[in-house]
Amino acid sequence: MKSYEGGITVDKYSAIILAGGKGSRMKSENSKVLFELLSKPLIDWVIAALKESGAGEFCTVVGHRRELVCEHLKGQCEFAVQEEQLGTGHAVMMARDFLKKHQDESVAILSGDVPLITPETLKGAFEAHKESGADATVITARLSDPFGYGRIARNPDGGVEKIVEQRDATEEQKKIDEINTGTYFFKTAALLSALDNLKTDNAQNEYYLTDAIAYINKTGGRVGTYEVSDITEMTGINDRAQLYDVSVVAKERLFTALMKSGVTIMDKSSTFISPDAEIAPDTVILPCTIIKGRTKIGRACTVGPNSVLDNVTLGDKVTFNASQAADSVIGSNVKVGPFSHIRPGCDIADDCKVGAYVELKKAKFGRGTKAPHLSYIGDAELGSGVNFACGCITVNYDGKNKHKTIIKDKAFIGCNVNLVAPVTVEDGAYVAAGSTITDTVPRRALAIARSRQSVKPGWRDKSGLEK
């Protein structure tokens, strides 16, 4: 007899992500689920798949290094704390309050360390779960080498009887090639009542979530399965070698899709691109380039070699050569590099140049403005058509506060100028090379702020240095 009431399948499902484990095989101070796969933390891959599959609210079970995981996921989900890691069943028990709130729905249980799970699989499994009306649906796979996984033990009539862990399996059961991927859908009420009945009578003295399946079967509930054919999708990451292997698979998929969409990637092995990046056709990515976060690259750009873009937007036809940029927006037809550093908060309009050895921070460039060589421009607003010549810098820091430099349209700043902020150079003004500017330069004026040259004729002959 079923020992619970309710559990009517409705169209929505909530989810629990298990992320409390120690991840001891990572040998790290960090939480395993925060390790990055193509620059995106493992747990973010799982969350993205969940959201895309149409899941509702979700709860993350945190334990080891939970302060880091909670900080990372702040505002995105509920948390349940598992102080001691007493097994996957115990982890789900910690989320009882969340489950009770979603009593009349189904709940998906996922692992935070299985990043390549797809929204299609989640949708497919949920559909199967709903259609069959099962109390639990286990996502399964068939493996030629099932070692290490829980095995699906079936009744003579073909229904699922229970899941047997590797360490508890008989020789006969070890031969079963149908495995538990560790992802499930449960009618929430069925899961809640099974949780109340989990025991630790197994090889690891843990509360196994898998025993909930045996309990549901034993008490007259129905257990279904949903088989995935692509097992790489369900690979869990337990150590850094597996993380590498999974990254090779993920990269191959992503790069194939990008290339088919019209992007040239010259060297796959030395290129890393975030799954959240967008790159338009006819753009060429040269070797040793890392594209992180939500970077957006327009059409016909050339990016690399040896470049890093992190959350940057590039327009069309940008050349970004051997440089780095973060959290900034760069327009179309801009040339960057080689060897430049665009730090967060920059906004560069179309047709600009940020040439060789130029560092920018919170700098705004109007259209066609150029800083071709060897400059530092921080906390500055440059209008359009400004020439910021070789070796010029904004002196933005007085040792205590940062100050702003404003340079208006078509101003011309000669070589090796210091602009001591706060300071303004008005429209069309000229600043002579080598000047240190501390006051406003009026519109279309010329400012010279350096000592005059003096010449001592025949000085070398009189100096006696060559005797």
Query: Residues interacting with ligand UD1, by CB under 6 A?
Result: 18-21, 61, 63, 82, 85-88, 90-91, 111-113, 149-150, 163, 165, 179-182, 208-210, 236
What is the H or E stretch that residue 153 is in?
Answer: strand 151-154
Partner whose binding site includes residue 328, from ligand UD1, Ca ion, none (CB under 5 to 8 Å by kind): none
- Please name the residues in contact with 151: beta carbons below 8 A apart, sequence gap of 6 or more: 163, 164, 166, 169, 173, 174, 176, 178, 179, 180
Which CB atom, from 236 or from 331, has the smaller least distance to ligand UD1? 236
For residue 367, the minimal CB distance to Ca ion (Å) is 54
Minimum Å gap between C-beta 216 and ligand UD1 is: 15
Which of ligand UD1, Ca ion, none is residue 363 near (CB under 5 to 8 Å by kind)?
A: none
* CA 325/CA 357 separation, integer angstroms: 13
341 is annotated as an active-site residue: no
455, two tokens: 């010449």
Q: 89: which residues sit within 8 A by CB, 6+ positions away? A: 195, 198, 206, 207, 208, 209, 210, 211, 212
Decide: helix, strand or coil at residue 215.
helix
Query: Cβ closer to ligand UD1: 165 or 351?
Result: 165
Q: Does 23 bind Ca ion (CB under 5 A)?
A: no
18 binds, among Ca ion, ligand UD1, none (CB under 5 to 8 A by kind): ligand UD1
Local structure of 24: helix, strand or coil = helix
Residue tagged active-site, from 90, 102, 341, 373: 373
Tell me the C-alpha distance between 371 and 369, whole Å. Answer: 7
State the nearest-atom distance from the C-beta of 102 to ligand UD1, in Å: 19
In terms of CB distance, is 166 or 332 closer to ligand UD1?
A: 166
Q: Which is nearer to Ca ion, 238 or 264 (CB)?
A: 238
CB 118 within 8 A of CB 98: no
Q: How far is the CB of 179 from Ca ion (least distance, A)?
A: 12
- The CA radius of gyration of the chain, in Å to the nearest whole number, is 31
Q: Which is nearer to ligand UD1, 7 or 236 (CB)?
A: 236
Query: Which residue of this chain has its Cβ atom nearest to ligand UD1 in the complex?
Result: 150
What lies within 8 Å, CB to CB, of 346 at 6+ separation is: 325, 328, 329, 330, 360, 361, 362, 363, 364, 365
3-state secondary structure of 380: strand
Q: Does 150 bind Ca ion (CB under 5 A)?
A: no
Binds 331: which of ligand UD1, Ca ion, none (CB < 5-8 Å by kind): none
Residue 221, CA atoms < 13 Å, CB-side half-sphere? 30
CA–CA distance from 131 to each of 135, 226, 325 (Å)?
Answer: 11, 12, 50
Q: Give the tokens for residue 146.
A: 């099932």
Burial category of 282 from C-beta neighbours within 10 Å (exposed 0-12, middle 13-18, buried 19 and up): middle
Spell out where 304-369 has E strands.
307-310, 313-314, 319-320, 324-326, 329-330, 335-336, 341-342, 347-348, 353-365
Site map (CB under 5 A) of Ca ion, residues 179-218, x = contact = ----------------------------------------
Q: Is 146 in the site for Ca ion (CB under 5 A)?
A: no
Total of residues contacting Ca ion (CB under 5 A): 1
Residue 388, contacted partner among Ca ion, ligand UD1, none, CB below 5-8 A by kind: none
Residue 251 Cβ vs ligand UD1, minimum distance, rounded to whole Å: 22
Task: From the list ligand UD1, Ca ion, none, pick the one residue 19 interacts with, judged by a Cβ distance below 5 to 8 Å according to partner type.
Answer: ligand UD1
Which residue's CB comes closest to Ca ion?
236
- Which lies closer to ligand UD1 via its Cβ, residue 140 or residue 295? 140
User: For residues 222-241, which are near Ca ion according to CB under 5 A?
Assistant: 236
* Shortest spacing between CB 382 and ligand UD1, in angstroms: 50
- By beta-carbon proximity to ligand UD1, the closer residue of 233 and 351 is 233
Strand pairing category for 446-447 and 430-431: parallel
The pairing of beta strand 412-413 with beta strand 405-407: unpaired
Is 112 one of the binding residues for Ca ion (CB under 5 A)?
no
Distance in angstroms (rounded) separating the CA atoms of residues 139 and 51 = 18
Q: Nearest distance from residue 378's CB to ligand UD1, in Å? A: 43
Residue 90 vs 129, nearer CB to ligand UD1: 90
C-alpha distance from residue 40 to each of 72, 80, 274, 276, 459 (Å): 12, 23, 7, 8, 66
What's the closest the beta carbon of residue 234 comes to ligand UD1, in angstroms?
Answer: 7
Q: How many other C-beta atoms can be found within 10 angstroms of the C-beta atom of residue 312?
A: 27
Residues of this chain that bind Ca ion (CB under 5 A) = 236
Catalytically active residues are 373
